[in-house]
Amino acid sequence: MVAAVVNGFGGPERVELAEVPVPRPAAGQVRVRVGAAGLNPVDAGVRSGIFGGAGERLGLGWDVAGEIDETGPGVTGWSRGDRVVGLHYGTVKPLGTHAEYVVLDAGAVAAAPAGVDVPAAAALPLAGLTAARAVDQLGLTPGSSVLVTGAAGVVGGLAVQLAARAGLVVTALAGPDDEELVRSLGAAAFVPRGGTPAGPVDGVLDAAVLGGEALTLVRDGGVYVGLIPNHAPAAERGIRIEEQEVAADGELLARLVALVEEGALTLRVAEVFPLAEAVKAHERLATPGVRGRIILTA
């Protein structure tokens, strides 16, 4: 099969297509024929060497939407032909979802959302799980105020929707041209990048990784949730500091799928590229102002 990989670190030009063996599912795993796969900032990080793995051929891709092609021993509840979405966790790995087939743990997949096309479905797993776990970590009660930074991005936009659904009063911080977008996602108030909310908020979900700058906007005793491990600011003023690290979770993913099917969660696709144009997709990912997930189709 064909897979997008990197041999050596650098820019989009380091991405190449390689002929590799089709993986076989082990006990407790399923093999998915990839229909579409999301391209995330973490893939650019792998490509540039942030996560290490020098001297290894590294696979790319975490999100996947497709059909189960084969089940490993002991797998129940899934059959060949089932439409699924899933998360292939791991930064340094020989193969990812940017391939024609991928093997995942059976517990990492959920039934694909009905009525949603395959590219849009592939935009859900990593961003949706990240946003959902971050909103949970806020631990705020309905009526509490939360500032979501990077609210027009894929993760931030889903966080706005999930926080508003949880009854939180959301202020969205995004680019000056993004107000209409973030309000349509459920934000009650808008702050352009570089601005400040009207008053301290109970919590910040820092999708833009502003760190200490975002912390200054939290009231004493509030909560800060960062989305990149080891990048949170030091605690001060009694603020609880949380760091969210995504994990493959088929049950939580299934709950997010249900919200998509209800029309309560909007998935956004910026552009779709065939796998053969993976380099162009990485170049597009590096372009500022992308609003929505970039998708590769196998």
253 part of a folded domain: no
Do both 117 and 138 map to the same domain? no
Task: Supply the pLDDT for residue 52.
Answer: 87
147-162 pLDDT, tens per residue? 999 999 999 999 999 9
250 part of a folded domain: no
> What is d(CA 178, CA 196) in angstroms, rounded to the nearest whole number?
16
Do both 118 and 181 map to the same domain? no
CATH number for position 274 = 3.90.180.10
229 part of a folded domain: yes
Mean pLDDT for 257-263 is 97
The band of 254, judged by pLDDT with boundaries at 50, 70 and 90, is very high
Pairing of strands 293-297, 269-274: parallel
Q: 156 lies in which domain range?
A: 127-243
Q: Is 295 exposed, middle or buried, given 0-12, 13-18 or 19+ CB atoms closer than 10 A?
A: buried
Mean pLDDT for 7-35 is 96
For residue 32, is pLDDT > 80?
Answer: yes
Among 229, 199, 227, 224, which residue's Cα sits nearest to residue 213?
A: 224
> What is d(CA 44, CA 288) in angstroms, rounded to the nearest whole number?
14
118 part of a folded domain: yes
Task: Supply the pLDDT for residue 55.
Answer: 75
Contacts for 245 with CB less than 8 Å, ≥ 6 apart: 229
For residue 206, is pLDDT > 90?
Answer: yes
CATH number for position 174 = 3.40.50.720
For residue 188, is pLDDT > 80?
Answer: yes
Task: Supply the pLDDT for residue 60.
Answer: 97
Do both 117 and 142 map to the same domain? no
Do both 12 and 91 map to the same domain? yes
Task: Supply the pLDDT for residue 227.
Answer: 93
Rounded to two decimals, the pTM is 0.96
For residue 260, is pLDDT > 90?
Answer: yes
Mean pLDDT for 101-106 is 98
> What is d(CA 179, CA 191) in angstroms, rounded to the nearest whole number?
8
Do both 192 and 176 map to the same domain? yes
211-246 pLDDT, tens per residue? 999 999 999 999 999 998 888 999 999 999 999 889
> What is d(CA 113, CA 229) in angstroms, rounded to the nearest whole number?
30
Q: Which of these ranges, 47-61, 84-98, 111-125, 192-206, has the smallest mean pLDDT?
A: 47-61
Task: Supply the pLDDT for residue 53.
Answer: 85
Do both 187 and 228 map to the same domain? yes
Share of the chain above pLDDT 70, in %: 100
Do both 227 and 292 map to the same domain? no
Do both 195 and 96 map to the same domain? no
User: How many separate domains does the chain show?
Assistant: 2
266-286 pLDDT, tens per residue? 999 999 999 999 999 999 998
Do both 188 and 168 map to the same domain? yes
For residue 54, is pLDDT > 80?
Answer: no
Residue 61: count other Cβ atoms within 10 Å of its Cβ: 29
